[in-house]
Structure 1
Amino acid sequence: MKYNNYRKVLSSLTSQKSDSTLPVVALLAGLAVGAVIGVLFAPERGTDIRTRISDKAKGLSDTAKDKIRAVKNKFHTEEEELTDLKDEVVDKVKSKAKEATDLKDELVDEAKSKAKDISEEVKSAADKVTNG
């Protein structure tokens, strides 16, 4: 009996959704407190620290902008390649469709010619039978 209760408790614990906002808030609060303590106990002047923070933030911003620009360029290049490939496929399909149409027309003309020849042969044979 206790075994079944243990399984129910274990099942209920594993099936509950965990709220991930609390650890994130705790992490951010810890980072903020650490930054404040670091600034308070830093051996440098405040202006030097602010300058370093500003320079680091600018560097990170520039790096992020460069990466975003690189991703945009890659997407643009991929888009151009896909457009070129699409155009190439469309041209090939059109070419094959024209070839198929030309072949169909040729076969129809050939069938008409053979039908005309057979018709003339039948007519000639019928004339021989009636005249002959």
Structure 2
Amino acid sequence: MGNNNSNVLIGILAGTAIGATLGILFAPDKGSNTRQRISDEALAARDKIADSAIAARDSIANKASHLRDNIVDTVGYKAQTLEEKVESIVSDASHTAEDVIKTLEDKLAMLKEKNKKLKKS
């Protein structure tokens, strides 16, 4: 959409320059004055087009910078979220492993008690 606006602006400026040139050519005046006016109008049109090109370049650079910043922020957020999920999974796995070990230790203690009772009998 920004490229379209730049093209329209350049078209308007070019049309204005062409119109001014035609107006000068058909206006009654001395040849030297006409040539000077055409030269002046051409220089003014060139300056306007250059200014428009600079403004378009700056606008595109600004939009690209915002887009890059948004991408960096999004990737950073996604990486942080992924890291948090991995930490949560590792923490849950650690707790689960501790629970399994505790259960096995309790069962082992019960078996040892039963074995002691069996040996006494």
* Fold in common (TM above 0.5): yes
Cα deviation digits, residues 46-77 of structure 1 (max 9, x gap): 11110000001111111111111111110000
Normalised by the length of structure 1, the TM-score is 0.66
1:7 corresponding residue in structure 2: none
Could you say what secondary structure the match of 1:91 adopts?
A: helix
1:50 corresponding residue in structure 2: 39
Q: Return 5+ residue gaps in structure 2 as ranges.
A: 1-17
- Counterpart selection for 1:60 from 40, 49, 54: 49
- Aligned Cα root-mean-square deviation (Å): 1.9
Identity %: 11
Answering whether residue 73 of structure 2 is matched by residue 84 of structure 1, we say yes
Across the two proteins, how many residue pairs are aligned to each other? 95
Normalised by the length of structure 2, the TM-score is 0.72
Shift of 1:42: 2.5
Q: Which is helix-richer, 1 or 2?
A: 2
Alpha-carbon distance in 1 for matches of 2:42, 2:52? 15
Alpha-carbon distance in 2 for matches of 1:64, 1:86? 32
Comparing both chains, which one has the higher relative contact order based on Cα–Cα distances under 8 Å and sequence gaps of 6 or more? 2
1:117 corresponding residue in structure 2: 106
Alpha-carbon distance in 1 for matches of 2:25, 2:76? 62
